[in-house]
């Protein structure tokens, strides 16, 4: 059973369901041929949202009326031969990314900054300049702090594959919208796995670019763990949106030079050397997650990819020392002050996160943190001395319960309790090694019926290699997802 049946059952228009799940690359071909209008595509998504959004709750805000105006303009541009690269494609934008005239609430009932943004995030600005239509903003965890997507402001975002399960976070609304068929493309940000974790749990593709590939506004651009990236239902669609967002910006001195655009189709990967590990170090990984990762590795090997099983010395204690308290904890401190003044302002998971982060920032010497990050980063980089790419699971679990803070009971991996549910993410090490491009692609379904994913990491700044292997996985290890718009 796929997400279409999980969230809605039957629908009034099969054609509109098919359109709702139409890929961006396919939609552009149809637009160019005059076989489909951007207006029709948008209306299919709006119809789909009316049906499934009450259950899924992926949207923090909708902008359907404004989007309809833009879709009609895109229709005219196609007719006049003036179409831009993403002309008429609806994009769901993460609420944490600023849109001029709208407040960034970060899921808080009382936002830390209640004033509307005066400028649009550069990543979204570029998408709009390329012709994309932002028709909705998507839900996150509070202050994007954890791999969950429920918040005091908009409630619980649910996984379209199983409404009793969560969809991860913090870019969970974007992932859920794609799986539910209410967006064609989506955006996210990632400082510890916030794109990749929900993409894996929702069964879609997530792309964390190298830091600087997509420009960020100061002072966020100075945070090397932070990336603005993309979510999509295919590798080709991820490349489509990645190309539109990438490139240097005069306001971001950390942004990377111009790189060749990603192609619309990728060369087969036979001959590539891939370092594979289903259970990195002592990181917790469910048997079903590991088995699906092994299925992908076996399919690659059968297709001629040189898959080398490796042992990875990744230690959860070290990763946690690097992660907890990393960066500027000013906003966490401000949120805790508000919680002290008005108890109940924050969800329990946010309180726990901010308390642990501020404590770690105060207690872990900066010299030790730098030494750990250097060791972890150099260990990742060393893999590329003998291999072209790295393949590991994305999340150690196939599912998390919807709306669960895991404050009163722990998240378990094959029966063993985790110290913190964040330990289930195998993503933060690639934020330490922030120059590595990483995609997560679906690896299959767990016995429970929810998706699992694998991460494909490329060498520093080598996006093409990561996309090439991800596209190969899409070809040789298709995941058996019964999406109404066509099988992945």
Closest CA to 89 of 13, 171, 31: 31
pLDDT of residue 16: 76
pLDDT of residue 274: 98
Question: CB–CB of 301/307 below 8 Å?
Answer: yes
Tokens 């060749």 label which residue? 260
Burial class (CB in 10 A: 0-12, 13-18, 19+), 71: buried
**Strand, coil or helix: what is 93?**
strand
The two three-digit tokens of residue 233, written as one number: 């239902």
**Strand, coil or helix: what is 390?**
strand
Radius of gyration for the chain, computed over Cα atoms and rounded to the nearest angstrom: 21
Q: d(Cα 288, Cα 52) in Å, to the nearest integer?
A: 28
Q: d(Cα 120, Cα 100) in Å, to the nearest integer?
A: 5
∠ CA 39-42-43, rounded to 5°: 85
DSSP count for the chain of H helices, then E strands: 16, 17
Mean pLDDT, the chain cut into blocks of 10 residues (488 residues total): 56 69 97 98 98 97 98 98 98 98 96 96 98 98 96 97 96 97 98 98 97 97 97 97 98 95 96 98 98 98 98 97 93 95 95 96 95 98 98 98 96 97 98 98 94 98 98 90 42
Q: 252 φ, ψ to 5°?
A: -120, 100
Q: d(Cα 469, Cα 384) in Å, to the nearest integer?
A: 14
∠ CA 170-176-180, rounded to 5°: 175
Q: At what angle do helices 38-56 and 172-180 cross, to 10 degrees?
A: 110
Closest CA to 21 of 232, 330, 166, 194: 232
Tokens 């790189």 label which residue? 259
Distances (CA, A) of 53 to 2, 176, 177, 206, 282: 16, 10, 9, 21, 38
The two three-digit tokens of residue 205, written as one number: 């593709």
pLDDT of residue 6: 64
State the DSSP H helix or E strand holding residue 475, giving kind and residue range, or none if neither.
helix 463-476
Tokens 């594959």 label which residue? 161
For the CA atoms of 8, 10, 16, 22, the dihedral, rounded to the nearest 10 degrees, stands at 60
Strand partners for 186: 92, 231
β strands within 148-236, DSSP E: 150-151, 155-156, 158-159, 162-166, 185-190, 205-208, 227-232
> In order of start, what are the domains of the chain with their CATH numbers?
3-330+333-476 (3.90.1300.10)
**Strand, coil or helix: what is 135?**
strand
pLDDT of residue 133: 98
State the DSSP H helix or E strand holding residue 38, giving kind and residue range, or none if neither.
helix 38-56
The model carries a pTM of 0.96
Q: d(Cα 427, Cα 229) in Å, to the nearest integer?
A: 14
Q: d(Cα 129, Cα 16) in Å, to the nearest integer?
A: 27
Q: d(Cα 259, Cα 454) in Å, to the nearest integer?
A: 25
């Amino acid at each position: 059973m796929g997400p279409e049946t999980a969230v809605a059952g039957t629908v009034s228009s099969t054609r509109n369901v098919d359109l709702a799940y139409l890929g961006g690359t396919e939609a552009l071909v149809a637009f160019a041929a005059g076989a489909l209008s951007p207006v029709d595509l948008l209306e299919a998504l709006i119809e789909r949202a009316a049906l499934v959004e009450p259950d899924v709750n992926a949207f923090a805000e909708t902008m359907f009326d404004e989007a309809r105006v833009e879709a009609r303009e895109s229709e005219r541009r196609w007719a006049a031969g003036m179409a831009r690269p993403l002309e008429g494609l609806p994009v769901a934008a993460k609420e944490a990314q600023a849109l001029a005239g709208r407040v960034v609430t970060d899921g808080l009932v009382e936002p830390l900054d209640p004033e509307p943004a005066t400028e649009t995030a550069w990543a979204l600005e570029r998408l709009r300049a390329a012709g994309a239509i932002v028709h909705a903003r998507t839900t996150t965890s509070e202050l994007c702090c954890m791999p969950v997507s429920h918040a005091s402001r908009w409630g619980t975002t649910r996984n379209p594959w199983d409404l009793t399960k969560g969809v991860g976070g913090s870019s969970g609304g974007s992932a859920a919208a794609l799986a539910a068929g209410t967006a064609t493309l989506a955006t996210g940000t990632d400082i510890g796995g916030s794109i990749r974790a929900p993409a894996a749990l929702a069964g879609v593709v997530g792309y964390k670019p190298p830091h600087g590939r997509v420009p960020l506004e100061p002072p966020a651009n100075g945070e090397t763990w932070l990336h603005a990236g993309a979510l999509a239902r295919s590798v080709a669609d991820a490349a489509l949106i990645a190309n539109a967002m990438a490139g240097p910006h005069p306001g971001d001195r950390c942004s990377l030079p111009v790189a060749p655009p990603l192609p619309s189709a990728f060369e087969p990967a036979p001959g590539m050397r891939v370092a594979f590990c289903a259970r990195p170090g002592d990181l917790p990984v469910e048997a079903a997650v590991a088995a699906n990762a092994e299925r992908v590795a076996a399919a690659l090997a059968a297709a001629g990819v040189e898959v080398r099983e490796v042992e990875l010395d990744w230690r959860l204690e070290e990763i946690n020392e690097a992660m907890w308290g990393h960066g500027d904890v000013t906003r966490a401190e401000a949120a805790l002050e508000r919680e002290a003044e008005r108890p109940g302002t924050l969800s329990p998971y946010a309180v726990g996160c901010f308390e642990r982060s501020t404590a770690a920032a105060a207690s872990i010497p900066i010299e030790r943190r730098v030494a750990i990050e250097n060791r972890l980063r150099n260990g990742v980089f060393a893999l590329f001395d003998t291999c072209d790419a790295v393949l590991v699971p994305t999340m150690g679990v196939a599912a998390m319960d919807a709306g669960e803070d895991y404050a009163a009971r722990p998240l378990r991996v094959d029966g063993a309790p985790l110290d913190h549910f964040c330990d289930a993410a195998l993503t933060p090490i690639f934020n330490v090694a922030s120059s590595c491009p990483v995609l997560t692609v679906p690896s299959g379904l767990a016995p429970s019926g929810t998706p699992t994913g694998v991460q494909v990491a490329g060498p520093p700044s080598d996006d093409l290699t990561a996309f090439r292997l991800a596209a190969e996985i899409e070809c040789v290890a298709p995941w058996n997802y019964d999406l109404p718009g066509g099988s992945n």
